[in-house]
Chains A and B, each alone.
Chain A
Amino acid sequence: GQQVMQIPQYQHVQEGEDFTTYCNSSTTLSNIQWYKQRPGGHPVFLIQLVKSGEVKKQKRLTFQFGEAKKNSSLHITATQTTDVGTYFCAGGNTDKLIFGTGTRLQVFP
């Protein structure tokens, strides 16, 4: 069945350093969504990418969707302590969104 893998599983950075998480699907995705889950919280929608090669930015966050629509990345520039949490990608179709395993980000001040 379809699988969505995310790397790395954990990442510890010093505040101000950059951070990137990568998402890879075993099949072509119609779209990909990114979610953030703060410690003790629930996943919250960040963004959706639909087009091949699409790049979207939200302040210090840059999201990319691969040309083959099988991979995606989230890059955070100059991390802050408020960026702490687990970042999930999710891809698939309307009925069945498959979530990646998540990348847990820890930011040290």
Chain B
Amino acid sequence: EAQVTQNPRYLITVTGKKLTVTCSQNMNHEYMSWYRQDPGLGLRQIYYSMNVEVTDKGDVPEGYKVSRKEKRNFPLILESPSPNQTSLYFCASWTGRPGNTIYFGEGSWLTVV
């Protein structure tokens, strides 16, 4: 079954404590991306990756890091989380070919206190 798996699904953490949200896809997709979803703002792209070791900033990259050491994995790193990073995060993957579908993970609810 085609899947994008994120962990953790829910997390409450404190300001400044480094955390990583993992993302894994089993479809051999070249492209992966992280989005955050906030009320009234829709889905905003944080970072994306076109392939292994190739990443680029999205619209709201500040405060986040990513890496793409393997094709299937694309972790999102918050080195020093702040309360304004409290949000719902989605990982997504797709082939990059025209007409293809973006597959989303189930989401990770992150609260920074």
Please list the residues of chain A having a beta carbon within 8 angstroms of any beta carbon in chain B: 1, 6, 9, 31, 33, 35, 41-45, 48, 50, 88, 90, 94-102
Q: Contact between A42 and B105 (Cβ–Cβ < 8 Å)? A: yes
Binds A, one of B15-23, B37-45, B65-73, B75-83: B37-45
Q: Given the interface contacts A88-B43, A95-B31, does A50 sit within 8 Å of B48 by beta carbon?
A: no
Residue B50 CB within 8 A of the other chain: yes
Q: Contact between A94 and B43 (Cβ–Cβ < 8 Å)? A: no
| B30-55 vs A, Cβ < 8 Å mask (1 yes, 0 no) | 01000100001111110010100000
Cβ contacts under 8 Å, B74 to chain A: none
Q: Contact between A95 and B104 (Cβ–Cβ < 8 Å)? A: no
- CB-nearest residue of chain B relative to A46? B101
Q: Count A/B pairs, Cβ under 8 Å.
A: 57
Q: How far is the CA of A100 from the CA of B40 in the complex (A)?
A: 10
Q: How far is the CA of A88 from the CA of B90 in the complex (A)?
A: 14
Apart from A44-B104, A99-B42, A99-B44, what are 15 other A-B pairs with CB-CB below 8 Å? Answer: A9-B40, A31-B98, A35-B102, A42-B90, A45-B102, A50-B98, A88-B42, A94-B97, A95-B31, A95-B50, A98-B45, A99-B45, A101-B42, A102-B42, A102-B43
Chain A min CB distance to B87 (Å)? 14
Q: Given the interface contacts A33-B102, A42-B90, A42-B106, does A95 sit within 8 Å of B56 by beta carbon?
A: yes
Residue B58 CB within 8 A of the other chain: yes
Residue B59 CB within 8 A of the other chain: yes
Q: Pick the contact of A99 from B31, B35, B98, B106 — CB < 8 Å?
A: B35
Q: How far is the CA of A101 from the CA of B45 in the complex (A)?
A: 12
Query: Taking each of B90, B96, B99, B104, which has the highest tally of chain A beta carbons within 10 Å of its own beta carbon?
Result: B104
Cβ contacts under 8 Å, B31 to chain A: 94-95
Q: Given the interface contacts A88-B43, A99-B44, A101-B40, does A94 sit within 8 Å of B102 by beta carbon?
A: no
